[in-house]
């Protein structure tokens, strides 16, 4: 066994701490503003296209998530990890090479996915989503994949540098452009006495992605470094693909399961006794209204999760076990405190929020019930990021897949008998399982590393 001696100043570097805190604050601030804008946007949509329209709009979200998983998610994470490693080696030219290599791979994939979704939109809508009205929405959505992959790769580069200014700005601009364009298009339709089409909402997604890409490309500063310090194209490609392939496969499988879960909810609600319109309406209230409220505090944990991966990766590379253990402990304590506070808040204010914000009593009922998942929901996201940083993406995949499987079982067997309450029970059960098992796995892995 090897004993690695680490200089004390490195383990308590104020620069590392400050960059982490500053980055988290920037992402959190951008996330809070984005979510606030999103709140008003959801309220606007609920009153413009109605609960059923929200349900149809939410039906295509699995296709969007699956497209991002295939084209950019794994590449973005891989870029972030290798950029942080190259910067740790004082090799900025190598970091830039990983960005450009990953961007090339992602662009190729996004073009293929975009063409496929556009060509087979009708087939996907009928055979997969079960609603032909989704076909024109999917055709418009196909234009969003290319700009999405560009700013995702650039964001991954800056996450690796622990510089979150550009990603935060892109996130905010994307939301402003999306909401502003949809509002403007809706006003034009109303002024011309035309019905407000659901397609307008998807054009907002495309415009938001394009605006974010323009900002990220124009704001990025990639100064040339010494050419002889950069790894070759083949080495960069091999390293990126080796890490991105299992990550992408994991995300694709998880998104396929999640897509099946989301598509089955309206179908199983019909077995409970709802009409097709009522089932889509309830689904829209749950996913488009209630979940947007409950997920709001996760903007903090999401910001922390993004920066935990490169931080844990650097600590692992340096053999700094003390920092790893301290980070895990602080993460668990903070997420539990935030989660319990949010649970109490949603239990007391959920019904008020549903009625005041959306004018919908059922949304308030859902918010109260979903409030119980907060401590476990926030824990799962951050602990998964730590597992990724420690080099255990397979464990995260198994955890998420099992949680998704639990929810699907509740959708299949509980929803037809108990309605949407059965699905809410499934969400709570899956989140508790994921959080507790992640804590157990991290405890075992860190103890094993210390023993070795």
Assess whether 310 and 401 both reside in one domain: yes
Query: 114-166 pLDDT, tens per residue?
Result: 999 999 999 999 888 888 889 999 999 999 999 999 999 998 888 888 777 88
**Residue 6 to residues 49, 317, 330: CA-CA distances in angstroms?**
59, 11, 22
At a CB cut-off of 8 Å and minimum separation 6, what does 139 contact? 117, 118, 121
The answer as to whether 268 is a domain residue is no
CB atoms within 10 A of CB 390: 22
Q: What is the dihedral of CA 358, 359, 360, 364, to 10 degrees?
A: 70
Map 210-239 to HEC letters. HHHHHHHHHHCCCCCCCHHHCCCHHHHHHH
The answer as to whether 331 is a domain residue is yes
Last residue of a domain, one of 215, 246, 277: 246
The answer as to whether 261 is a domain residue is no
Q: Encoding tokens for residue 106?
A: 């992602």
Assess whether 113 and 204 both reside in one domain: yes
250 closest CA partner among 373, 402, 60:
402
Assess whether 46 and 188 both reside in one domain: yes
The answer as to whether 11 is a domain residue is no
CB atoms within 10 A of CB 1: 4
Assess whether 309 and 406 both reside in one domain: yes
Half-sphere exposure of 28 (CA within 13 A, CB side): 13
The answer as to whether 365 is a domain residue is yes
Burial class (CB in 10 A: 0-12, 13-18, 19+), 73: buried
The percentage of the chain sitting over the pLDDT mark of 90, rounded to a whole number, equals 29
Yes or no: say if 29 and 171 are a contact pair by the CB < 8 Å rule.
Answer: no
The answer as to whether 20 is a domain residue is no
What mean pLDDT is predicted for residues 106-119? 95
In the chain, the number of structural domains is 2
The overall longest dimension of the chain from CA atoms, in Å, is 76
CB atoms within 10 A of CB 92: 19
Asked whether the CA dihedral 30, 33, 39, 41 is positive or negative, the reply is negative
212 closest CA partner among 298, 139, 154:
154
> What is the span of the domain harbouring residue 318?
297-452
- 80 falls in which pLDDT band (50, 70, 90)? confident
Assess whether 172 and 307 both reside in one domain: no
Q: What is the DSSP string of 381-399?
A: HHHHHHHHHTT-HHHHHHH
Assess whether 304 and 183 both reside in one domain: no
* % helix, strand, coil for the chain, step of 5: 90, 0, 10
The answer as to whether 2 is a domain residue is no
| pLDDT over 90 at 182, yes or no | yes
**Residue 219 to residues 185, 188, 347: CA-CA distances in angstroms?**
28, 32, 43
Assess whether 79 and 202 both reside in one domain: yes
Q: What is the DSSP string of 316-335?
A: HHTT-HHHHHHHHHHHHHHH
Assess whether 319 and 405 both reside in one domain: yes
Residue appearing with tokens 């418009």 = 140
The answer as to whether 332 is a domain residue is yes
**End-to-end CA gap in the chain:** 7
The lowest-confidence range among 30-39, 190-199, 368-377 is 30-39
At a CB cut-off of 8 Å and minimum separation 6, what does 349 contact? none
Write down the pLDDT at residue 2.
39
Would you give the distance in Å from CA 240 to the centre of its chain? 21
- CA–CA distance, 369 with 150 (Å, rounded to integer): 38
Assess whether 174 and 31 both reside in one domain: yes
Query: 261-309 pLDDT, tens per residue?
Result: 888 888 899 899 898 888 888 888 888 788 888 887 877 776 666 666 6
Q: What is the DSSP string of 263-299?
A: HHHHHHHHHHT--HHHHHHHHHIIIIIIHHHHTTTHH
| pLDDT over 90 at 57, yes or no | no
Number of residues written out for the chain? 452
**Residue 236 to residues 94, 172, 277: CA-CA distances in angstroms?**
9, 31, 50
Assess whether 238 and 305 both reside in one domain: no
Query: 204-263 pLDDT, tens per residue?
Result: 999 999 999 999 888 776 655 554 455 677 888 888 888 888 778 878 888 888 888 888
Last residue of a domain, one of 246, 262, 287: 246
Yes or no: say if 328 and 392 are a contact pair by the CB < 8 Å rule.
Answer: no
Write down the pLDDT at residue 22.
65
CB atoms within 10 A of CB 145: 29
Last residue of a domain, one of 246, 261, 288: 246
- CA–CA distance, 414 with 409 (Å, rounded to integer): 8
Assess whether 158 and 307 both reside in one domain: no
Assess whether 38 and 156 both reside in one domain: yes
| pLDDT over 90 at 27, yes or no | no
């Amino acid at each position: 066994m090897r004993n690695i001696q680490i200089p004390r100043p490195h383990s308590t570097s104020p620069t590392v701490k400050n960059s982490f805190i500053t980055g988290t604050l920037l992402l959190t601030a951008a996330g809070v503003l984005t979510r606030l804008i999103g709140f008003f946007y959801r309220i606007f949509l609920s009153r413009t296209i109605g609960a059923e329209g929200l349900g149809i709009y939410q039906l295509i979200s699995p296709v969007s998530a699956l497209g991002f998983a295939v084209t950019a998610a794994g590449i973005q994470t891989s870029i972030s990890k290798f950029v942080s490693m190259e910067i740790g080696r004082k090799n900025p030219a190598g970091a830039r090479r990983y960005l450009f290599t990953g961007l090339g791979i992602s662009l190729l994939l996004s073009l293929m996915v975009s063409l496929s979704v556009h060509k087979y939109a009708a087939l996907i809508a009928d055979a997969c989503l079960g609603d032909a009205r989704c076909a024109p929405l999917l055709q418009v959505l196909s234009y969003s994949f290319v700009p999405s992959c560009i700013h995702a790769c650039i964001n991954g580069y800056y996450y690796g540098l622990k510089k979150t200014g550009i990603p935060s700005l892109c996130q905010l601009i994307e939301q402003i452009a999306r909401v502003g364009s949809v509002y403007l298009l809706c006003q034009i339709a109303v002024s011309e006495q035309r019905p407000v089409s659901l397609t307008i909402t998807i054009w907002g997604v495309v415009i938001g992605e394009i605006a974010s890409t323009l900002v990220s490309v124009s704001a990025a500063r990639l100064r040339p470094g010494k050419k002889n310090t950069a790894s070759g194209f083949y080495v960069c490609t091999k390293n990126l693909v080796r890490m991105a392939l299992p990550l992408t496969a994991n995300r694709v499988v998880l998104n396929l399961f999640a897509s099946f879960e989301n598509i089955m909810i309206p179908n199983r609600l019909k077995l409970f006794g709802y009409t097709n319109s009522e089932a889509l309406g309830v689904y829209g209230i749950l996913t488009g209204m209630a979940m947007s409220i409950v997920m709001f505090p996760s903007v903090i944990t999401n910001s922390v999760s993004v920066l935990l991966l490169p931080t844990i990766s650097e600590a692992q590379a340096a053999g700094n076990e003390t920092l790893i253990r301290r980070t895990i402990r602080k993460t668990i304590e903070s997420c539990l405190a935030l989660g319990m506070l949010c649970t109490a808040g949603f239990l007391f204010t959920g019904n008020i929020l549903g009625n005041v914000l959306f004018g919908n009593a059922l949304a308030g009922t859902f918010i109260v019930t979903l409030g119980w998942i907060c401590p476990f929901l926030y824990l799962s996201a951050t602990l998964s990021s730590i597992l990724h940083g420690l080099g255990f993406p397979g464990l995260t995949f198994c955890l998420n897949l099992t949680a998704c499987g639990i929810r699907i079982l509740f959708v299949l067997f509980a929803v037809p008998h108990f309605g949407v309450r059965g699905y809410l029970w499934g969400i709570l059960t899956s989140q508790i399982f994921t959080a507790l098992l992640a804590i157990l796995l991290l405890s075992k892995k860190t103890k094993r590393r210390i023993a070795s």
